[in-house]
Structure 1
Amino acid sequence: MRVGALVHLREDFRKQMEELKAMGMSSCQLVCWDMSMMTEDTADKINQATKEIGITITAFWCGWPGPITWDFYEGQRNLGLVPAEYRTMRVEALINGSTFARLLSVRDLVTHVGFIPENPYDENYHQVVEAVKQIAVVCKKNNQNFLFETGQETPVTLRRAIEDTGMDNIGVNLDPANLLMYGKGNPVEALDILGKYIFGVHGKDGLYPVDGTHLGEEKPLGEGLVNYPRFINKLKEIGYTGDITIEREIEGEEQKRDVLKAKAFIEELLTK
């Protein structure tokens, strides 16, 4: 397993890649919430930079238009593909993201799908599954996988949704901290449920929620409640050989310090 980092697409992409290489990394997941940047010209610049600097983009993490609230109240109403009023334009955005990822020769398209209803008889559950299938069909034509990033769903609901699509190119980008921060499950035990569907992993840490409104707090990797020694061992047991992509949702020099500390922490565990 390699250790990489999450990179948000900006105009200074080449500089970002140079910094990543200087930090001793050769892989990243590329995140984009600005739909206007997903152009052929941008893709050409990215391809040139990654080739010259020696960076592999393992996944394209595609955002979507419309309101975003990362909590348990408004988030239920506006995140991902679950809210019917935003679904059509977000499916379109993710299909465009698949096209952009193809220009980058990236295999995996990742996003948050939202608070998928746990009740399989809920009509909205079936509508979300059909929306995911619609995106996955396009991804399959582009030789890609469509990945749910863990967070708003329980592992059981997530696995059910994947299997109910009937598609063989849908999987999971498992973020262990998100499972805690959303109060949806223990990341180590989640590996038993989601194992064969895990195509990507985030290196991130956090705490459980302490009230009914706000997500749990993100923490520097190793300082939260993700049991990383057990988590890494379990990844090995299930045969995961992909990258672990560090995500630290702050900015500036503190972010770089935390990413480097996380890299050293994970790499030490990988050698055991």
Structure 2
Amino acid sequence: MFKIGTLADWFGLGLLEGIRESSRCGATGVQIYAAGEFDPRTTATDSVVKEVISVARASGQTITALCGELGGYGLEKAEDNAAKIDYLKQVLILADRLDCRIVTTHVGVVPKDRSHPRYEVMLNAMGELAYFANRLGSYVAVETGPESMTVLRAFVDECGPGAAINYDPANLVMVGADDEVEGVRIAGSAIVHTHAKDGRSLKQIDPEDFYHQFAEGGLEWAAQSGCSEETPLGEGSVRWMPYLRALQEIGYNGYLTIEREVVNGSEDIRMAVQFLKECIEQL
């Protein structure tokens, strides 16, 4: 059956206290951003890594995944990709040290048309990362967002065995990219991790336009755009029971990792853990 995780950073308490708070909320796993306090290029020193492992063990927390924060256009721009690929390889190595096999990331907008020049740029970058991940026995999991599941699944398959999907149902419903329930069946065995997030669409916008404007303006633009809004779990448009049943159908039994992208989200995260437990009991 599913396990419940949280994202340590969204508690607003700092990395180590976020891991402890995840346990206090009733979750058994925690995802960590490989940035800020835990950046493999700067701050994730040997002593910090040992402390994270120690606190996670003492708190009964499995590290479900690391989040590789590419920002901007992900892997869309060839001129930026060497540095981003190097960073994600360092994140994969960091994850391996934590006995964690999944790194999630946003790669940008995968074109529907394979002949689009951007497709080859993204395929080359992800293919290199997938090969590297596979040699470690790990996955680079592309987060759902602007693409239909048919497009994303085909892209991930082409990238090779180290590529996978981090399924976020709210990202799909907020921009109308695909049906969050049927998409699970299309993504199928490529799903290795999920985010439990909720939200709703407020007005129609082309998913590619939304994500490219988001690449420039970030969360501040998204909040002011009037296109969509994130909500506490159970208050948005995600159809949770059909969604969870679809995950059951495909044999997924991994983590539902709560992502609540607000400052100091502790109370919402705590309520989300309880919401998911109640949903799971009904399955």
CA contact 2:197–2:233 (8 Å) conserved in 1: yes
- Percent identical across equivalent pairs? 28
Match of 1:230 among 242, 261, 266: 242
Give the C-alpha shift of residue 211 in structure 1. 4.8
The corresponding residue for 2:255 is: 243
Q: Deviations over 1:75-96 (max 9, x none)?
A: xxx3210122322211111111
| C-alpha distance 16-211 of structure 1, shift in aligned 2 (>3 A) | same
CA contact 1:31–1:60 (8 Å) conserved in 2: yes
The corresponding residue for 2:50 is: 44
Q: Deviations over 1:130-164 (max 9, x none)?
A: 11011111112222111001113221111111122
| C-alpha distance 83-152 of structure 1, shift in aligned 2 (>3 A) | farther
Instruction: Quote the RMSD (CA, aligned, Å).
Output: 1.8
> 5+ residue gaps in structure 1?
69-77
Task: Map 1:201-216 onto structure 2 (within 5 A).
Answer: 201-212=194-205, 213=210, 214=225, 215-216=227-228
What is the total number of aligned residue pairs between the two structures? 257
- 1:267 maps to 2:269: no
- 1:160 maps to 2:176: no
The corresponding residue for 1:175 is: 168
Q: Deviations over 1:40-98 (max 9, x none)?
A: 3321111111122211001111113xxx4xxxxxxxxx321012232221111111111
The corresponding residue for 1:18 is: 20
Match of 2:119 among 118, 125, 138: 125
Structure 2: which amino acid aligns with 1:8? D
The corresponding residue for 1:198 is: 191
Counterparts of 1:21 and 1:128 in 2: how far apart (Å)?
37
Counterparts of 1:219 and 1:13 in 2: how far apart (Å)?
23
Counterparts of 1:11 and 1:229 in 2: how far apart (Å)?
31
**Secondary structure, aligned partner of 1:37:** coil
Counterparts of 1:92 and 1:138 in 2: how far apart (Å)?
11
Counterparts of 1:86 and 1:263 in 2: how far apart (Å)?
38
What is the TM-score of this pair, normalised by structure 2?
0.85
The corresponding residue for 1:32 is: 34
The corresponding residue for 2:9 is: 8
Counterparts of 1:269 and 1:153 in 2: how far apart (Å)?
27
Match of 2:66 among 47, 57, 60: 60
| C-alpha distance 236-149 of structure 1, shift in aligned 2 (>3 A) | same
What is the TM-score of this pair, normalised by structure 1?
0.89
Structure 2: which amino acid aligns with 1:227? R
**Secondary structure, aligned partner of 1:185:** coil
Counterparts of 1:90 and 1:123 in 2: how far apart (Å)?
19
Task: Map 1:63-102 onto structure 2 (within 5 A).
Answer: 63-64=69-70, 68=71, 78-102=72-96
The corresponding residue for 2:220 is: none
Counterparts of 1:33 and 1:100 in 2: how far apart (Å)?
12
**Secondary structure, aligned partner of 2:201:** coil
Give the C-alpha shift of residue 38 in structure 1. 3.2
**Secondary structure, aligned partner of 2:8:** strand
Give the C-alpha shift of residue 120 in structure 1. 0.8
> 5+ residue gaps in structure 2?
211-224
Counterparts of 2:123 and 2:202 in 1: how far apart (Å)?
27
Counterparts of 2:45 and 2:173 in 1: how far apart (Å)?
35
Question: Of the two structures, which has the highest relative contact order with CA contacts closer than 8 Å and spacing of 6 or more?
Answer: 2
Counterparts of 2:171 and 2:132 in 1: how far apart (Å)?
27
Counterparts of 1:173 and 1:211 in 2: how far apart (Å)?
24
